[in-house]
Chain A
């Protein structure tokens, strides 16, 4: 009876759909049974197969200078250990004590017995220091950004990023396979234009995840990000912000908490803070900080977090000890900032170079004034740094993979400020740069 009822109420299109389902599944099952395409490799094809060699041409890589311990004989203004923590005995002793407790390696990823109590301590201490809910620690600075970005941004999302973000961020964006739009370096008007354009073209709408990625202090230019404006735009257009504080943590702000402290931006406004422990903390590794909701996600989705061995405990301990110093002696931050400002003043007087870098930025990029090609500039700068090295000051040209960068920055010497630089040192650096130019620079 019931069956009869169904037939009565069913209209003709029900049968059409049923027929389609039957035909469709029959077709599906039929095609599945077909064998794999026939192997067509003939002698002729095989003889035509001429693979390129794996190494396509000989590549000559410049031998980098061999550093001993960054010691007293050479004044190192290339390494980015701004707070001079690489020489701090307190940090060294605690790291060595840690070595004798835990050994060197952690022998496993965080999930599988690679979580050692020092990792938890560092995460807790960093969270307290940065005044956020939670942090997670990565085992390599580069991988921090390159993993954190694709943990959130996925295919189909849209990212607005500064065109001079450093390489790790570029790679993170690439790995996320999101749609990316680069705005002009530090140009908020351009960002606003792009956002407006995105809304007009319906690329930016409340259903699509959107991110802004900026650096607090740009590694590739030394400029400071106008974070207040970024936050304002992000709130207006409903974007989430990822901020790379690698060069600003332990460097700017009264307590060294970075750009958010310096500009007095509430930390909640920035969704994710990323940073490296390889600069001012003078160890290895990186961290991400934010709310529990945000950071916890990386513990399962951050590739470099999940699938990599954790940071060696002794290096973790070094970061904890660095935090100890930052918290007990915030005067080191002030010392560094003073040196950075002085360095800017001194660089103003250079005869043959221009430079870029915010006065509080710990890195300054020194450029040649001459109007010559990229490669020439690079090779002259190399000669200049080599000359300076011989004269007892170690500095380095910024290394870029020209064909891989989104917008390759101009060749430059990247100077790193250091809280221990004296007025004499600064004078000496500037004089030597001019001297080197006259000796080996373009005539």
Chain B
């Protein structure tokens, strides 16, 4: 029974079969408040009953967003001139590519022995990758020959045929690494994590050659699942062998027909693939725009034909460097009776004072988020992913997702690395890493701003995109930074919109202040040279 302050009592049956006589059901007093059999949580009941309403046809009020932090991240717009020049630059590149294609067709671009077959590729896609992307190909897929730690060793390549092919020069270059997702610096070739991994490999083998549901479970996997759940502050977790597959194979198990998903426009490819395989209806809301999300949710509720509505967001967006406004989303979901799926691929370990992810950062109870998903690739320096939440949820995912029975179990040394790293984060030394990452991030972002470059996202996000707009500037910047001993990543179409190419820096706790300052000095020189002072603030 829920007793509302102002209206008549509202009867609520709880699916866990317990009643709390005399106790008020609110989010804070009843930990199981979400599981309500007739589908209406106390928060929803409160939303209707606490507002004195006489007429049923009256419009249900919108959220009062003034109480919440709805900051979507900083996305400074460039001047009209820059935008126009970027477009002209892109068209010019395309035009040159087109001319190039007419004049020169290399051997690799033709298929053998398949005359009379339908062409295998979409002509534009092929044109783009051969004659536009090829010009900047040397900035991607660069091989390294060391740990992707604070520094890395680049194997230098040279091209004799304008990036159609590369050959190794045999030389190597040591660079400071601002490209890998090694947020907490656990990508280490020695130390306690590596030792744990070695021990696990010797004990269990490198792989179990079986799926978790068949003969691929070990005590190590169970322990990892328990530790992950404790780390995140939820009841249970299930782990998967690959981060991408966690979304692509886990989502179809979680959701099914009849559900509507409200998905952020910048969600990762794995989420989009997972939603497609789950065969759910998807509507996209503008990046980090809770008001737009609310409008879509209200429209869906008014339609009255969905069995459930799920918001799917990421904690930290890897291309934008922005953080989801989690507190606002949780309030919205509670009020309207929606569910929240949070992908913490880039945030778990890296965000929050205790490194517990974006829930920790935003001060939201992890139990208020229905599904917590994340990967072990980034902060933990391993591979794989998890889905965590209530025990029932985890069993539900385990029993219905595609990974448990079909995909092979996580490799034991990888699981051991995650366990060791996760335990390390909880120790005082680990917390120092988390703090150092935050310091590095703040310092780095502040200096970039002072230089006059446009950066996207939130102050605390360790992913720092610096806008360069055109493809050519992206390549020029990456080249120059490499010359100065700085390994960074340029991102352009198709990962970003055509005219929003950027350089992405990923900070790490492994970087010392001196290294960061050295990087910043190099960046400043390049910003000056290439002309990246786009900011007008």
Contact = CB atoms under 8 A, between A and B. Distances in A.
Contacts of A52: 39, 258, 307-308
A41 B298 contact: yes
B216 interface: yes
Interface in A48-83: 48-56, 58-62, 64-70, 76, 78-81
A384 interface: no
Interface stretch (B22-30, B51-59, B441-449): B51-59
Given A39-B59, A238-B116, 19 more contacts: A45-B304, A49-B337, A50-B38, A51-B337, A53-B37, A66-B217, A79-B216, A111-B141, A140-B408, A171-B277, A175-B276, A240-B114, A283-B206, A303-B244, A303-B270, A308-B244, A318-B207, A399-B211, A399-B213
22 contacts: A43-B55, A46-B48, A49-B337, A50-B38, A54-B393, A61-B395, A86-B209, A96-B202, A108-B180, A110-B141, A113-B152, A117-B145, A142-B407, A175-B273, A177-B276, A209-B119, A238-B117, A238-B118, A278-B207, A303-B244, A309-B377, A318-B207
Interface string B476-491: 0000000000010100
A299 B141 contact: yes
Contact of A206 (B118, B211, B301): B118
Interface stretch (A13-21, A290-298, A426-434): A290-298
Chain A interface size, under 10 / 10 to 19 / 20 to 34 / 35 or more: 35 or more
Contacts of B208: 67, 70, 79, 86
B417 A104 contact: yes
B166 to A, nearest CB: 11
Contact of B406 (A65, A102, A167, A304): A167
Interface stretch (B66-74, B92-100, B192-200): B192-200
Interface stretch (A87-95, A221-229, A331-339, A373-381): A87-95
A314 B190 contact: no
Between A46, A99, A105, A154, the greatest number of chain B beta carbons within 10 A of the residue's beta carbon is seen for A105
B378 interface: yes
Contacts of A36: 295
A7 B126 CA distance: 43
A36 B215 CA distance: 54
A61 B411 contact: no
A58 B61 CA distance: 35
Nearest to A81: B209
A168 interface: yes
Interface in A368-423: 394, 396-401, 404, 414
B133 interface: yes
A104 B125 contact: no
A41 B59 contact: yes
A315 interface: yes
A46 B48 CA distance: 8
Interface in B20-52: 34-40, 44, 47-48
B217 to A, nearest CB: 4
Between A51, A116, A297, the greatest number of chain B beta carbons within 10 A of the residue's beta carbon is seen for A51
Interface in A206-223: 206-210
A42 interface: yes
- Which 7 residue pairs are nearest across A and B when measured between Cβ atoms? A399-B405, A50-B39, A308-B244, A140-B242, A81-B209, A142-B407, A396-B214
Contacts of A401: 400, 402, 405-406
Contact of A300 (B133, B180, B201): B133
Given A116-B143, A140-B407, A59 B179 contact: no
Chain B interface size, under 10 / 10 to 19 / 20 to 34 / 35 or more: 35 or more
Interface string A169-193: 0010011010000000000000000
A309 B243 contact: yes
A58 B394 CA distance: 10
B473 interface: no
B382 interface: yes
Contact of A92 (B15, B201, B396): B201
A107 B56 contact: no
A207 B143 contact: no
Contacts of B392: 55, 58-59
Contact of A41 (B143, B302, B337, B393): B302
B387 interface: no
Nearest to B408: A278
A99 B413 contact: yes
A111 to B, nearest CB: 5
Interface in B353-398: 370-371, 375-378, 380-383, 390, 392-393, 395-396, 398
A258 to B, nearest CB: 18
Interface string A315-354: 1001000000000000000000000000000000000000
A131 B88 CA distance: 45
Interface of A: 36-37, 39-56, 58-62, 64-70, 76, 78-81, 86-87, 91-92, 95-96, 99-108, 110-117, 119-120, 139-143, 146, 152, 154, 166-168, 171, 174-175, 177, 206-210, 238, 240, 268, 271, 278-279, 282-284, 291-294, 296-297, 299-301, 303-304, 306-309, 311-312, 314-315, 318, 394, 396-401, 404, 414
B242 to A, nearest CB: 4
B273 A282 contact: no
Between B204, B209, B339, the greatest number of chain A beta carbons within 10 A of the residue's beta carbon is seen for B209
Contacts of B218: 66-68
B188 A103 contact: yes
B148 interface: yes
Contact of A39 (B110, B144, B299, B339): B299
B125 to A, nearest CB: 7
